[in-house]
């Protein structure tokens, strides 16, 4: 995402639910620690979430959308609680934000921290997930048939969305050392929907105006169930993985197991005009209020947001500080086998920044 020179960087902060309220302040602290390596950050607190819905009947206020669209340069989103039962009138605010701000790509790097800074990580991949359609269009219906209740869901795959996510995936692959892209699909069964996704992404290098730009990118394919198996058995075969919404969601969460915790994995929701960082973990109600939530995914999401905006130096400083904290292993939250609290980890990262 190209960005004009700024004297300030206005960041919308949307803690959301659960531990989102504990980890978003950590990302804010990391941004403030960067000093002159980024434009002076200014923050605006915004509301969204299931807990807000239970109080007000609205999960995503119009004012939150207005401020993001009219006043903010970027945003950070914490977490959202997702009730497993149907709740009348409720729909996920993060899904709605992705659609309203046209954040059509969810970019999730999964990188292990090598014991020696000079060594290559054993896991170094990026999941590029289409963010606006697939089964997440939430067009479902429940009817009564001959054998009782029948539930149906519409799965939407469009050429436009597949082309856009394909182009972003090729761009990301082009900028990485291996320049390797794997298309994830299930077109052996879902020949129409996944077939369209597969064919459209494969066709990106032949689009008008591309002119051989992606000739250096090697393209492979993998059926999604096989991809999950191979992800655990031989993660080193993957570099950039591009997938429809549901597959990308599952694969990126599964990949987090390879690096120790969901609390380490960042993401950005990105479009052509806006970017929003979001840690991959959920609202974690089981540890809410205990002061032990892992803030590193949120901090890394802030770095990824900066990198997407073009502030590479600031992003590098944050990532280097996080790597040092993980590598040293003395100040870590319980999910990583440590005994430190959220605040201790944040203080240690900020000190190293």
**Average pLDDT per block of 10 residues along the chain, 353 residues long:** 71 97 98 95 97 95 97 97 84 91 96 86 94 89 92 95 97 96 96 97 95 95 96 95 96 89 92 95 93 97 97 97 96 95 98 97
- Return the pLDDT at 2: 46
pLDDT the model gives residue 5: 65
* CATH no. for 104-261: 3.40.718.10
- Where exactly are the structural domains of the chain? 1-103+271-353, 104-261
Three-class secondary structure of residue 126 per DSSP: strand
Q: Which residues are catalytic?
A: 136, 186, 225, 249, 253
**What is the pTM assigned to this prediction?**
0.91
Angle (CA) 218 126 98, round 5° = 120
Q: What is the pLDDT of residue 1?
A: 53
Burial track 11-22 (b if 16+ CB lie within 10 A, e otherwise):
bbbbbbbbbbbb
Separation CA 113–CA 327 (nearest Å): 7
- Residue 55's pLDDT is 95
Residues 293/19, Cβ–Cβ less than 8 Å = yes
What pLDDT is attached to residue 284? 92
* CATH number given to 1-103+271-353: 3.40.718.10
- The confidence score (pLDDT) of residue 315 equals 97
CB of 294 within 8 A of CB of 335? yes
Do residues 103 and 87 touch, judged by C-beta distance below 8 A? Answer: no
Burial annotation 249-259 (CB, 10 A radius, 16+ → b, else e) = bbbbbebbebb
How far apart (Å, rounded) are the C-alpha atoms in residues 158 and 6? 36
> Between the CA atoms of 233, 238, 240 and 244, what dihedral angle is there, to the nearest 10 degrees?
-40
């Amino acid at each position: 995402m190209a960005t004009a020179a700024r004297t300030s960087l206005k960041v919308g902060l949307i803690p959301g639910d659960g531990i989102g309220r504990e980890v978003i302040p950590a990302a804010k602290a990391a941004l403030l620690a960067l000093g002159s390596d980024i434009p002076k950050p200014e923050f605006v607190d915004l509301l969204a979430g299931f807990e807000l819905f239970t109080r007000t009947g609205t999960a995503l206020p119009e004012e939150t959308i207005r401020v993001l669209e009219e006043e903010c340069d970027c945003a950070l989103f914490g977490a959202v609680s997702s009730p497993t039962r149907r709740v009348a009138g409720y729909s996920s605010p993060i899904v709605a934000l992705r659609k309203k701000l046209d954040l059509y790509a969810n970019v999730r790097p999964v990188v292990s921290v090598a014991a020696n800074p000079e060594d290559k990580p054993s896991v170094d991949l990026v999941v590029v997930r289409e963010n606006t359609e697939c089964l997440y269009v939430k067009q479902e219906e429940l009817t009564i048939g001959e054998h009782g209740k029948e539930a149906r869901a519409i799965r939407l795959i469009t050429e436009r969305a597949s082309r856009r996510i394909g182009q972003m995936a090729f761009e990301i692959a082009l900028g990485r050392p291996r320049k390797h892209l794997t298309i994830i699909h299930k077109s052996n069964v879902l020949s129409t929907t996944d077939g369209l996704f597969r064919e459209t992404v494969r066709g990106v290098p032949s689009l008008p105006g591309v002119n051989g730009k992606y000739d250096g990118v090697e393209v492979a394919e993998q059926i999604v169930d096989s991809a999950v198996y191979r992800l655990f058995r031989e993660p080193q075969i993957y570099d950039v993985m591009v997938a429809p919404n549901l597959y990308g969601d599952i694969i990126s969460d599964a990949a987090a197991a390879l690096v120790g915790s969901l609390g380490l994995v960042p993401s950005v929701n990105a479009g052509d005009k806006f970017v929003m960082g979001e840690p991959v973990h959920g609202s974690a109600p089981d540890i809410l209020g205990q002061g032990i939530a892992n803030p590193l995914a949120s901090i890394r999401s802030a770095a990824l947001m900066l990198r997407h905006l073009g502030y590479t130096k600031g992003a590098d400083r944050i990532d280097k500080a996080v790597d040092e904290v993980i590598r040293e292993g003395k100040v870590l939250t319980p999910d990583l086998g440590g005994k430190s609290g959220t605040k201790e980890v944040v203080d240690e990262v900020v000190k190293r920044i």
